[in-house]
Each structure stands twice: as structure tokens, then as C-alpha cells.
Structure 1
């Protein structure tokens, strides 16, 4: 939202006042409270008929300071509020000091300093505590904190009746020369947000617009800090798009609160952010395997499901999770939790047979929080008050968008959440192991009354995704235990990373949409989410065989991998008329699934690191691993998988690809040939490869070749590979249940320490992995 018309004029429909003077500073426990009139106070008379803005700054914990700006403090501060510090708040000791440089609030590694001449110069600078001159992060300067009305009142008397006036609070933090901004949820546009207007408001808008399913009120700067906006409702940001040298944050209401989070590295910023909003949850090993879906509007029944899985086995691809999408229930009944008896006469028996046969390990079903009027659940839910009501409190809120006469689950009602959990438990009894929590974005904010009358309907719009996924995740944890709960969620807000995992929503079946998806995954990873997936092949449309195969390569290198479409199947033989050659879709899918299976010892160990540190596993933006390389902050067509593997998807039918390698020696995974960075490189790839490079000083553990499925013994008959490794290089090991079993470390003279945890006839390769079995793939790679 823009409040000005260029540099000199206020926008037509706005009235704006700015904090001009820091009239008074009061020391509070762990912080400061600043009284800021909206004009400079030169005489007593200047204090009359004048608004003030209070700026409260508090040391939150080491490296983090909260900033809250308030106009009228008597306004109700309705929820919902983000549940901060879910694992406990760290100890804090804010220290206030004064010097010739001003008044400083220090919170461990981060400080805020107020200009000594604060009556005449509005200047609050955020900087590293140990060296303010070299670790300047951002600041609040003149005309950077303010309030606004819309439409513009012509007299202060008009504010006696606020029913026809909107009131906003805003701040503008400075952008340094060359500074870039990233994150703000799963955003599919330009990776660097500078120059963009961003509205944080969950919407079902696909992947080809500025709308987002997952709006997260956190952004990361290339200058070594991040900002978390503690507001569950709509947030408007002008990232260098109103004033080119500032990030403006605005909300409707009387107060705006945010936290500035110091790094100085992106990893440290994300770690501290995860302390504030929660670390990602752990996911089980089986979830990393290949997921196969029925797709959305396709026709399928019990025979179709069995046929798909048998066809995949015949073509040498193991499916770990089978997903029943919407039409496991009858049309017009979603979501009533009842299998279509005509299509699936005995789902429990079928699921048991599929698992017993080894065709699949786990089963997932699709749900959403909308309860269709014609389904078996609606009458009961409406009678018991489990559905959202209209504002008058009597009528159930309904509309015909998506499902005829659908109502919306009111998860602010504990009884409604308990009933919904009971419905899920019946699915678990049938054999369901995971839940796809679709939708949750189209949440009304007008003419509604929630069961919890203390919540603001506008704030509930985004926050609903948190409540919805929390209820389902808790039900899964209750049934299957910690570390075994898995969602496949589309909607999210800040904190939802605690309920993994998320996927990218409705993308088209094009190379451009695949690139959009890469940008979305990168941005979500920089918003505190560890695990992410995508609809392999694209959701909308029928992918051309080359698109499918390129997307398979990309999708099997995401943390989680699912084949899913809209009106067409994604089993490979339907894409290319069952081409069984080495370049066909079936062989391509088999190769990439096998590669991910071999990577499981590395992936599962790296997943634990990601959870501990609040980092993305894959897609991990290059700037996380290489923050001192300026180029890394602009790379949006490649990513890291954990800390040691670099992947660059191919978006071209002929296989041409250009990518960047940071400083160091990098080894091609497929050939063991090396390149030296920093620099840009061009290659040409067949469908069995892409630029996949191993970082120097890596000790990489690979599973035994030929194993089917993601779950196996990650210490047995493995291949231990060194890549320009030096003494001290190490690799963690976890077993298939997630338990740490040890660490391999490279000692002097290439001696491998900790190898006693390895079982069977494992192999040790000191110059990259054995590549003989991939000779055909290696020959298909051209360095240009």
C-alpha cells in the first residue's frame, strides 16, 4: 500500500502523519519506550492538538530486538496471535547505555542506537553490538514511522466516528546500496523482492501470479539480518517500491510490531527466527520416497490404483506413498471422510493388500476444511456448532464456491477440532498414514462470527492455515507418534513450518512454471520451512514428454517428491505412449528415483540438521551456504540440497543449461570431473542427468545400488565417497528410524574414523564415487 504520490505529495485518498520528534525516552525492563509527537515540540503549545506515536523497543533474546509502534493504545489487540517461543523463550538481558553516540539498547549481539540529538534528528540505527561502524544493518530515519487515515479526514473531529475511516500504522526501514530482500513465504515472482509491492494475504492463485498460498511475514536481507512482522492479518509491503531506499511495512489498525533478527549469516538469522516461531518438525524416512497420486479430476477406482502401482513396479520404480486425491469421496460430498463405496467397496482391505504386496509402504488421502452440504458430515457439524457462523450468529456461513453449500470448519471451537480429529482417526483405522491438507486459503473475513469471539476475522484469514494444519498434524502425531506425522499442505503462515510438509500448489505443465516453482521453493525455504515438494510434471495441462522428464529430475531432488496432475495421470507410460527405451519417461523416472534412494543416508542426516537449525533441506537457496558471494543472492534457477550438493534443473528440451559455481573445487556427481569456481558454466544434458555437483571437502555416504524404496539400513553396504576432502571432514549417520548412530570423520592420511558403525561390505572411494554403472549417463553430458 502506497501512502504517497511520489516524493512530495500524499496519495489522493490518504492523510499521513509522521513521528518527527523523540520527545521523551523512558527506560523499561529490557527496553526503551519512546514518545514521538508528529511535529517537533519547540514550546508547550506545540504539545496540544497533536497526535503521538509510541515506539517500544525491547530486547527479545540474544540478537533479536522487538519494535512496536502504537498510535491509540486503548484499541483492543484482538487475536489470533502467533504462538511465539513454542520451545521456550531464551533468557534475555537488555542493557541500556548512553554515550556521545546516543542512547543504545543492546540485546546480546544486536543493538539499537538513538541519535544523541533526538529532538531534531529522528534516527534509530540497528547494528551489531561489537562493531557498530562495520555492522550497520538498517535504520529508521526521518518520516519512517507514521500513521495514516483513508479517506483523508478534513477535520480531527471526524475521527470521533471511525466506522467510515480506515487507520493504518507503518514503518520504513532503510535499504542499503545493493541490498537484496528475500522470503515472505512461497512467492513465485522475482527472487529478489526489491522493487516489488507484496501483500501478505493467502489466496488460491496458482503459481503464475503475485498471489501466494503461503504468506509468511518474515523477510531476509543480504546485509545480515531478517525482520519478522508479528501480525497475523493482512500486511502490505513496499520493498523499495514506494521509496526506493526503504522497505515499508503497513497494517490496518492502531499498532504494528516487528522483530529485527541479527545474523550475521543467513543460517544464524534463520536459527534465531526458528526460536521465535518454531523449528520445523521432523519427518519419517519413508516420506522421502516417491509419492504417486491419482491426480485430481481423473476417473479412478480400486482397479486403477492397483494397476498404477503394478505398472510402476513392472517399470522398475518403487512407490513409497500412494495418494488418493479428491474423488476417493463422491462428488458434492467433500469433505465427509467417507470412501465412495461404488469405487472402493472395501478400502481397508485394499490398502492392507497394497501394503502387504510391497507395492506401496504408506497411503495418503486428500481432505480440506470445507464441509459440503450434501455430504454425510454437514448436518451433524452444523447442528453441533462446528461450522463458522454468519455475523448474526444464527446462520452457518455458506457459499457454492468449490462445493455446493459448503461450510467451513471453525477450529477456534475446541469441540469442532475434537470432532474433526475423530473423523481423521476413522481414516487411520482404515489404513491411512498421511494427510494432504489442501485449501485453507479462501477464508472469509467479513460477515462472519467465529466461536472464539476474541479473534479478529481479518486476522483469521491467514492464521486459519496454522490452526487447520495443527489439528491434523496433532491427530497424526497422536496416532503414529512423534516424528511419524506427515502432512502435504498447501496453505501456510508464519509458524506452520512446525507441521511439515508443504507443497507448491497448482502449477502449469511448462518450463516457465517449473522455474516459477523453483523460485517458490527457494522463497519458502528462506521463510523458515525445511521441507517442500512440487507437482512433478506440472498440475494443469498434459506435459510434453520432455517437460515431464526434466521435471522428474528436478522433483526427485526436492526434499519430497510427488507425481500429481489435474485432469491427466502422471504415471510415466501415459505421457509418452509407454516408451520403454532408455530415453523414455519410465526409464527416466526409474533412474531418478533410484538416485534419490541412494542419496538417503545423506538426505536423512541432512534433514536432522535442517530441523535443528531452521534451514531448508531442499530447495536451499545458494545465499544460505555462500552469503559472502554477491552472486549467490541472485541465483534463482539452482539450489543446494543440504550443505554439500548443488543442483541446477534443466528448463530446455535440448538439455542446455547455464549455472553458477561459487568459489572452490566442485565435482560432477555423474562423471567425477571437476570444475573450479567462482564462475558461470554451460552444459548440455540428456534426460538422465543435470548439473549435480558435490562441494569440496565433502564426505558423502551413498546407499547400496539397486535398493528399492527410501527405507533401508543407511549404514549397511554403503559407499563412502571423498570429494577433495581434508582432515576433519565428516558425515553424520542416522538409522531409518531417525536415531543418530554415529559420525564418520576423515583423519590423518585419509583414515576413516567412526567406521565401526558401518555394516556389511561397505566400500571406500577416495576420489569421488564409482561411476562405471553410469557410463551411458556420463557420456550424455557435454561441457560447453
Structure 2
């Protein structure tokens, strides 16, 4: 929200009050509180009839500083609040003649005692700061009040994140409102709004307000990242660390780490699509068609019309098309499939559940204590009140019946169109609940799946989200169009979401709205199968590949099987996301923070640490992409390329820029027909261009077992050692000259690309050039 009128003036209807000096302070051992009157205090009489801002600095985690600002501290803070994980941290607080300092790890804040302002630094390096006139209490003529902060943006500094945003990847120059909306992927609106941004300078800012947070990122004042909230207080965190990855780790420690999705969820999902006609015969035809074409399928999804029209949600199968759903699901599961069904948190008035929910007080209410209703989406629909424990239990009881029938997971659609004037069971502030509703909704469903299916099996396919929702994967990108433009905006949204703390992300292959050309479908297939999760879903038409052309089936088969072979690598990256909060799909700047070209790249990404993916966004197959410095090897062709420059190439449908980073041990599984198998058994480690003095290490996971392999090169010798569970594995050298190996004293000459296959009892291999 903008309050100024150019540099000199204030917009009509607002009065901006800023602290003039650090008049006094208090140190209590764990926090530093500074008092800033909003006028200059020259004599005792100046202390009368004036406002003052109270600013409290503390540290909930190492390298994290919390800033709490109050105008009127006595106002009751209504629910909800983000669920935060904090420690009993005691920062170092010091005072000298000119400054007050609070230090947490390598991160510090220094307050200028002589005037007003504070700066945040990592060691001696300034990260950002609040200058005089930046922090403000603002009153409006209509009686509303606001708190505003403006943090410095340095020359060359770029800002990212703020949720899944489909606008420009770099947020500098943008105005962003953190307010969930069902706006598709082609507008400034977003399904997943997260009040957290990340800077390429290696720090992050999390605004601890579930309600509307209004950002002006270099837009109102071009050298400031401004954020404001309505009310009498402002609460935000500066998150430091050793770099951008470390910032994301600490953000995950604060707001929650992603759960680990089950291995089967990484396979191909096929949907009935939205408004298409379908029955068990249609579904079986699609599934059998995939099998006939040797396209492995992992999950089948039933979208909205598995229930009768006008009755969403009643959680009952439409008996006109599915007369015996339990038997049907049993038949589908015999084909090796997992089952997903569409749900949302709305109950249409025609649903037989409406009266039940109304009588028991399970729905949001309006100011007259009536059920809040409207006709958008479902006629007379009500919204389940997840702040009511009994309503949660009631909602879950309906889902339990589906789980008992054979359903494995749920597509938790919607959750964005939540009224800001409703009354909640627990008295929550409806403005704060608008975004936070998505958290409660998905948490309710995810927790049920953990309880009934086990922690290792829980997964949802969610559209709406806010801070903390990363704990309940997976999230998909919403309603995109069947166009190259929309494919590109979907990727921008996914990269922004990944820089907002989300580890897993998907999108509708081929686009949701309209029907893609065969060309676009095949290009999007490669992109979709090189995302963490892969789904075929549309609106008014089916998405099975042979309806586009038979070559589409060939492309689908090729990339599904490639993804399955990559699963030991992808699942290891998923473990990293789960344990540390580092996303699987990574913006280039995360892996190459020193390469300034990577700051702006939004048409390519790293899949895990070692694979670079650049989808093709043109009909003629032309693609322009950037390789950072180093030696890169194309995974599919084996061609070696030196980086540090832009490349322009042309690809057929069976290829795209897919490069392996130097000094990589890439694990490939020996199974291509399914994503869930024993990744430790029969794994093939490909060692790519290990340079002298460097090492490559890879840990792979299979349920509770792990195996770690490490290769170290010193001049003309590579030593390979393994630890952990020992099963059948082999090593292949890529981009190395002819070598010989020694295994338990036996020497053998090998050519480039020959597999080195130790016996089961062998853990170490020595390779001589």
C-alpha cells in the first residue's frame, strides 16, 4: 500500500509519524527494547502530547532477529498466529556511547542512539537497514491505522519469493498484496501468498502476520523494500546465515519443514480432467491405454464429478456412473495404482451434509449468527469452520469412509475464496483467517492421512497455501492455460514458491484451460516429468497422450521412465528438502549465488543440486539457456560443454537442455517401470568430470536405510568409498580418460564408460589414470 505522493508529499487522507530519536532503551537479558518518540524531544514539555513507537529486538533462533514494533501495545492480538518453532535463545546485547547492539550468531542489529535507525549485518557486512523516516505509524482520515517498515535495497540487490507469484521472477519494482485469490496463473493474484522474501545478498525477511501484508518492493521508494499492515503493531524477522540456502534452512526451522512425500507420489498422475464425461469404463480405458503403450502410471485421480453435480461436497460417489465404487477402486488398485479424489472445504446447499453441518454449527457464520453462504462455485454453499474441533472431526469422518473404501490421498482444491467478514467458532479475526484458512484446511486433511495411512504415506495435492503450509506437500500451480506463455509463467510461479520455503511443486502438464497443440503438449511433458511431481490434468478435455498424437505417447513413455531411473537422486533431494528445507526444484541463484547472471534466470532451474533443466518454450524447438562456469555433461547425449556463457540450440521432442554438473556422483536406478523401488539395490553411480583436488559425494535413501558414496581425486588417482547399507552397485566414469582400477588388490584396465562393479563385500575402489 502506498502512503506517499512522490518524494516530498504524503497522500491525501494519511498522516505519517516516524520516530525521531532513540530516546531511551531497556535491556532485560534476552531482548533489547528501544523507545522512539515521533517528535524531537528538546525539553521536558516535549514529552507531553506525543506518540511513541516501542521497538523490541530479540532472537528466537541463531542468526535470526525478531523485530516487534508497537504503537498501542495494549490492543488484544486476535487469533490466528503462525505456528513458529523457537528456542530459548539468549543473544549477546552490548552498549557503547553511540550504539546498542544485539548479536545472534553472525547476525547483528545495531541501533543508532544519537538519532534513529538500525542496520542488520552479517559479521561486518551490512545486509539491510531501517533508516530515519522508514519505520512509521500511519493514521488515516477514515480512522484506520497502519504500521510500515522500509528496509534498504542496495544497488544490484534483487528480491524474490512472496509465495507462488506468476509475475516477474525478480520482485523489484512490484506491488504485492499477500491475500490469497483464485486468479489463475496469468495475473498478479496468487493462490499461495507467503509474507517472506529472499534477497540475493543472503538474507530473508518474514513478516509474522497472517492477514493482508502489503509490499512495495522498490516501487514506492525505489531503494526500499516496504511492507505494511493495518493495526497498531508490526512483527517481522530478519533471517541470516551463510548464504541463500542457509537462509531457507533457518526459515524452515522457524515455520516448519516439508514432510517427505511417499515415493509413489513422484510417479505420473493421470486425471479424469474437470468437466469431462467419465465413468469406470472411461477410466479403465485410459489406464489400459497407458499400459498398452508401455507408459507407467502411478496415481489415478478422480476430479470433481466423481460426486453428483450441485452436491459438492457430499463425499459420495455418483451412483449413476459409479454404482459400486469400492469394487471399482479394488480393481484399479489391482493394476498397481494409487487413488486420489478431489475435495474442497465447501458444502453446497443441495448436499445432504448441509443440514447436518448447519444444525451442529460446523460452518462459518455471518454477523447475524446465520450460516455464511453464497452462490459462487456451488449454489448456496457454506464453508467448513476448521477452528471448530468438532467440525474438523466431522469433516474427517467423511474422508475416513473414502480411505476405508481404498482412496489413498486427496486433492485439496480451493481454500482461497474465504470471506473476510465471517464469524469463526473460536473468535478468530476473519481478516487474519482469510489466508490462514488454507493452512488449517490442508493440515486437517494431512493429519488425517498421517493417522490413517502412516506418516510415510501422507500426501495431498493442494492449491492454496500460506506460510507454514510447506509442511503439507504437494502443491500444484493452479489453473494455467494451454500456451507457451502460461508454461513459462507456471515455472516462474514454481520458482518463486520454492524461494518461499516450499520443497515440492507441480503443475498441469499441457495446461488446464483449453487444449494444447500436440507440439506444446510434448514440450510440457518433458518439463512436467522433470518437476518433483507430475500430473496430467485439464478442464474440458482429456489429457491422455494419444489424443494429441502417437508421438506424444512416445515422449511420455521416454520421460516417465527417465524420471523413474532418476528416483534415487530425486528421492535424496526430497530427503534434503524434508530434513533441511532446501527445495528440490531450485532457482539457479540458490546453487550459484556468486554468479550474477543467475540472479535473473527464470526459464531454467536446478533439479536438486546437480541437474540443470531448461524447458523448451518455442514451437520450433529453439531454446536459449545459460550454463554457469564449469564443465557440464548432457545427461541424454553425453556431450561435454564448458559453461560461463549463454547457449542457443534446437531440440526435438525427445530432448531438452538437461545437464549434469561437474564433480557429481549421479545415482541412477535400474527400474524404469515404477517410481517406488529399492534405490540401494542395483544402483549405478555415474561420476561426472571429477577435477583434481575435488570430491563428489551422494547419499541415497530407501525407507530407513542409507548408502553414502564418496569419490576423492588427487592428481591421477580417484578413491571411492562407501558407507551404510551395502547392496549391489556399480560405478561408471563419465568424462574421464581411460583408466585402470584396483579392487582388493586386483587391477583391471577399463575404457571410458565401462562399469566398475564391485562384489557385495567390496566397499572401496581405487581408480588410476
TM range, normalised to the smaller chain?
over 0.9
Distance in 2 (CA, whole Å) between partners of 1:562 and 1:770 is 34
Match among 109, 118, 121 for residue 127 of structure 1: 121
**CA 351–106 in structure 1, closer or farther in 2 if over 3 Å, else same:** same
Matched, 1:535 2:486: no
Shift of 1:376: 2.2
* Per-residue CA distance 1:378-426 (angstroms, 9 max, x = gap): 1111111111111122x11110000001000000000000111111110
**CA 331–585 in structure 1, closer or farther in 2 if over 3 Å, else same:** same
Match among 705, 721, 724 for residue 753 of structure 1: 721
Shift of 1:623: 0.9
* Per-residue CA distance 1:100-148 (angstroms, 9 max, x = gap): 552111112111011242xxx32201102xx32xx10001101111111
Shift of 1:150: 2.2
Distance in 2 (CA, whole Å) between partners of 1:100 and 1:182 is 37
Matched, 1:273 2:251: yes
Q: Which residue of 1 aligns with 2:74?
A: 74
Q: Which residue of 2 aligns with 1:782?
A: none
Distance in 2 (CA, whole Å) between partners of 1:351 and 1:55 is 58
How do 1:378-417 and structure 2 match up within 5 A?
Answer: 378-393=354-369, 395-417=370-392
Matched, 1:623 2:589: yes
Match among 290, 303, 309 for residue 331 of structure 1: 309
Q: Which residue of 2 aligns with 1:158?
A: none
* Per-residue CA distance 1:313-365 (angstroms, 9 max, x = gap): 1111011000000000010000110000111111111111112133x2x0000
Distance in 1 (CA, whole Å) between partners of 2:198 and 2:183 is 24
Q: Which residue of 2 aligns with 1:93?
A: 90
Shift of 1:771: 12
Q: Which residue of 1 aligns with 2:445?
A: 472
3-state SS, counterpart of residue 514 of structure 2: coil
3-state SS, counterpart of residue 381 of structure 1: helix
Shift of 1:740: 3.1
Shift of 1:32: 1.1
How do 1:157-168 and structure 2 match up within 5 A?
Answer: 164-168=142-146
* Per-residue CA distance 1:212-242 (angstroms, 9 max, x = gap): 0000011001111100100010000000111
Is contact 1:716-1:762 (8 Å) kept?
A: no
Distance in 2 (CA, whole Å) between partners of 1:91 and 1:46 is 39
Match among 663, 668, 671 for residue 697 of structure 1: 663
3-state SS, counterpart of residue 57 of structure 2: strand
Q: Which residue of 2 aligns with 1:612?
A: 579
Shift of 1:287: 0.4
Q: Which residue of 2 aligns with 1:136?
A: 126
How do 1:282-361 and structure 2 match up within 5 A?
Answer: 282-358=260-336, 360=337
Distance in 2 (CA, whole Å) between partners of 1:12 and 1:301 is 60
**CA 271–172 in structure 1, closer or farther in 2 if over 3 Å, else same:** same
Instruction: Give the aligned length.
Output: 735
Q: Which residue of 1 aligns with 2:739?
A: none
**CA 674–37 in structure 1, closer or farther in 2 if over 3 Å, else same:** same
Q: Which residue of 2 aligns with 1:518?
A: 491
Shift of 1:491: 0.3
Matched, 1:678 2:641: no
Q: Structure 1 residues 290-299 or 96-105, which shifts more?
A: 96-105
Is contact 1:717-1:758 (8 Å) kept?
A: no
Q: Which residue of 1 aligns with 2:344?
A: 368
Shift of 1:767: 3.7
3-state SS, counterpart of residue 644 of structure 2: strand
Is contact 1:392-1:449 (8 Å) kept?
A: no
3-state SS, counterpart of residue 700 of structure 1: strand
How do 1:182-261 and structure 2 match up within 5 A?
Answer: 182-261=160-239
Q: Structure 1 residues 743-752 or 505-514, which shifts more?
A: 743-752
Distance in 2 (CA, whole Å) between partners of 1:758 and 1:595 is 25
Distance in 1 (CA, whole Å) between partners of 2:113 and 2:43 is 20
Q: Structure 1: which 5+ runs fail to align?
A: 152-163, 773-784
Q: Which residue of 2 aligns with 1:146?
A: 136
Q: Which residue of 1 aligns with 2:743?
A: none
How do 1:543-692 and structure 2 match up within 5 A?
Answer: 543-576=516-549, 579=550, 584-618=551-585, 620-692=586-658
Match among 465, 468, 487 for residue 460 of structure 2: 487
Match among 732, 741, 754 for residue 764 of structure 1: 732
Q: Which residue of 2 aligns with 1:156?
A: none
**CA 37–439 in structure 1, closer or farther in 2 if over 3 Å, else same:** same
**CA 429–5 in structure 1, closer or farther in 2 if over 3 Å, else same:** same
Q: Which residue of 2 aligns with 1:33?
A: 33
Q: Which residue of 1 aligns with 2:740?
A: none
**CA 598–234 in structure 1, closer or farther in 2 if over 3 Å, else same:** same
Q: Which residue of 1 aligns with 2:749?
A: none
Shift of 1:30: 1.4
Q: Which residue of 2 aligns with 1:62?
A: 62
Shift of 1:766: 4.2
Q: Which residue of 2 aligns with 1:724?
A: 689
**CA 231–196 in structure 1, closer or farther in 2 if over 3 Å, else same:** same
Normalised to the residue count of structure 2, the TM-score between the two structures is: 0.94
Distance in 2 (CA, whole Å) between partners of 1:691 and 1:549 is 15
Q: Which residue of 2 aligns with 1:743?
A: 708
**CA 330–770 in structure 1, closer or farther in 2 if over 3 Å, else same:** farther
Distance in 2 (CA, whole Å) between partners of 1:762 and 1:349 is 44
Shift of 1:756: 8.4
Distance in 2 (CA, whole Å) between partners of 1:493 and 1:587 is 38
Distance in 2 (CA, whole Å) between partners of 1:722 and 1:100 is 58
Match among 402, 416, 424 for residue 427 of structure 1: 402
3-state SS, counterpart of residue 142 of structure 1: coil
Matched, 1:109 2:106: yes
Normalised to the residue count of structure 1, the TM-score between the two structures is: 0.92
Is contact 2:733-2:754 (8 Å) kept?
A: no
Shift of 1:14: 1.6
CA RMSD in angstroms, aligned pairs only: 1.6
